[in-house]
Amino acid sequence: MNSVGVSFRNQRSFSSSSTSSSLLPWISPLQFLKANSQKRDPPPEIPYTLTESQRKPRFVSHETAINLIKRERDPQRALEIFNRVSEQKGFSHNNATYGTILHKLVQSKKFQAIDSILRQMTYETCKFHEGVFLNLMKHFSKFSLHDRVLEMFYAIQPIVREKPSLKAISTCLNLLIESNQVDLARHFLLNSKKSLRLRPNTCIFNILVKHHCKNGDLESAFEVVKEMKKSRVSYPNLITYSTLMGGLCESGRLKEAIELFEEMVAKDQILPDVLTYNILINGFCCRGKVDRARKIMEFMKNNGCNPNLFNYSTLINGFCKEGRWQEAKEVFVEMESIGLKPDTIGYTTLINCLCRAAQIEEAMELLKEMKEKECQADVVTLNVLLGGLCREGRFQDALQMLEKLPYEGVYLNKASYRIVLNSLCQKDEMEKAAKLVGLMLDRGFVPHYATSNDLLIRLCKAGMVDDAVTALVGLAETGFKPEPHCWEFLTELNCKERKLLSVFELLDELVIKESGQRSFSPINYLDYNF
């Protein structure tokens, strides 16, 4: 009895002391019961540090370290992981781990940390690959840090311990050209010729050809091609000719593009592919010569190059632009007949053509066909259809689509609702417009500012003052502030009817709360006029 009492007092003493100090260890109830059953004192305390030391630390491999760094959103914590794993005995970072941390840091614009990592890499003995630097160059180009692009290129040789490859040179040159850094590109090319003893190949020359064509300087582009033909190493290839033909087509020089095409095939014996043909097809379609584009496709098929989905979509789009929906549909049917499965863009192109031609029922049938063939209609497709329905005055069908589609897992954007709302306002379908505004606000979509002002005025002119105020309350909750002339129009009509002043008082509070000052409001207007 005494021993039990002593144990109980010991337990109470431990409990009271444990609440006052967090340094004492916790004693398991199982240990306490075991001690009582054997009528002995509780087992000796085991220090917490001892249990920790008994745990064997897990070795983090390179693969695990890479996964940890990739999953970490905070770049600073990712860098801490990178540094911590390097403290393991027998662990050394390799090209993959360095590449991963550098990718994480450059995405977050941690440029100082990148410089530190690069300095650390110069002392490493592992083998590095230039791909790490190509990735950095691309990111720096996105951030318009063109000097850093060159820095990363010139860091390749001291760290990788090899001369940059032609791929690295082409990548750097292309990034500079794409960013319109022509002077930097020119100096870079000259320096590469001297220091690296570079003999520009076809790929490098093609970058220059693309640059000149992009700027519309076709004469300079042809001068580059002349230089290419002087060397066997850099003789023009299919990409060279396709780039030139694209530049000619964009400039409207279609005859010269065809002549260059014939020279490529007959003289240089370079066979065109589907992309080269598509440049010509698109060029003629854009210039309103879709019949010529169709002949090019026929020539293409007769010469053993089967058109792909891209070629057919381009031709369909050409017919659609000219409003020749029947011929566009024929090309669409032909495409399906040879086993090509239309994609969302192809369907959307034809649906748009049918809607423009007031063939809305056929457009709706195509939407059903898309669903049957498991071709997902995107928001562009649906917006085209909504616009077509509104132009035909089929507002109820458009509203039903807006109501039902989100419940079927179909994504709609703010443009979807605004297309219908604008059409309703233009046609003075104000009851439907008021209901649509309520639906939009419930789903988190706000009408355009100008449309909102126009809507409120039109509702008032239609004698729907109550609906106008209801809409205004909902819009005000989103931060909307009507224009002064809209305020004036609303207050005048409401004052004539001598009602809804309490609503305007609420709106006055909303405006004051939003702006922080007593600007123009209905109450101010009423105080001034009465």
Q: What pLDDT, in 10s, does the model give residues 228-242? A: 988 777 899 999 999
**Confidence check: pLDDT of 424 > 50:** yes
The better pLDDT of the pair 497, 450 is held by 450
Domain ranges of the chain: 1-55, 272-374, 378-447, 450-530
- Pure H helices in 74-165: 75-85, 95-107, 111-121, 131-142, 146-154, 156-160
Measure the CA–CA gap between 234 and 193, rounded to whole angstroms. 15
**Confidence check: pLDDT of 36 > 70:** no
pLDDT of residue 523: 39
Measure the CA–CA gap between 257 and 280, rounded to whole angstroms. 8
**Confidence check: pLDDT of 53 > 50:** no
CATH no., domain 272-374: 1.25.40.10
Residue 230 burial by Cβ neighbours in a 10 Å radius (0-12, 13-18, 19+) = exposed
- Type of residue numbered 154: Y
The better pLDDT of the pair 498, 358 is held by 358
Measure the CA–CA gap between 382 and 412, rounded to whole angstroms. 8
Whether the CB-CB separation of 355 and 391 falls below 8 Å is answered with yes
3-state SS of 420-476 is HHHHHHHCCCHHHHHHHHHHHHHCCCCCCHHHHHHHHHHHHHCCCHHHHHHHHHHHH
For residue range 109-152, list pLDDT tens digits in order. Answer: 999 999 999 999 999 999 999 999 999 999 999 999 999 999 99
The better pLDDT of the pair 515, 118 is held by 118
Whether the CB-CB separation of 366 and 351 falls below 8 Å is answered with yes
Q: Residue 445 CB: number of other CB atoms within 10 A?
A: 20
Q: Residue 112 CB: number of other CB atoms within 10 A?
A: 8
Measure the CA–CA gap between 527 and 525, rounded to whole angstroms. 5
Lowest mean pLDDT among 275-279, 476-480, 520-524: 520-524
pLDDT of residue 55: 57
For residue range 365-388, list pLDDT tens digits in order. Answer: 999 999 898 898 899 999 999 999
**Confidence check: pLDDT of 7 > 80:** no
Give the mean model confidence (pLDDT) for residues 260-269.
Answer: 94
Measure the CA–CA gap between 428 and 61, rounded to whole angstroms. 69
Closest CA to 254 of 233, 227, 284: 284
pLDDT of residue 347: 92
* Helix/strand/coil percentages in the chain, nearest 5: 70, 0, 30
Whether the CB-CB separation of 59 and 88 falls below 8 Å is answered with yes
Find where tokens 């090899």 sit: 162
Give the mean model confidence (pLDDT) for residues 455-481.
Answer: 83
Measure the CA–CA gap between 294 and 290, rounded to whole angstroms. 6
For residue range 272-302, list pLDDT tens digits in order. Answer: 999 999 999 999 999 999 999 999 999 999 9
For Cα atoms 209, 211, 216, give the angle at the middle one, nearest 5 degrees. Answer: 95
For residue range 295-322, list pLDDT tens digits in order. Answer: 999 999 999 999 999 999 999 999 998 9
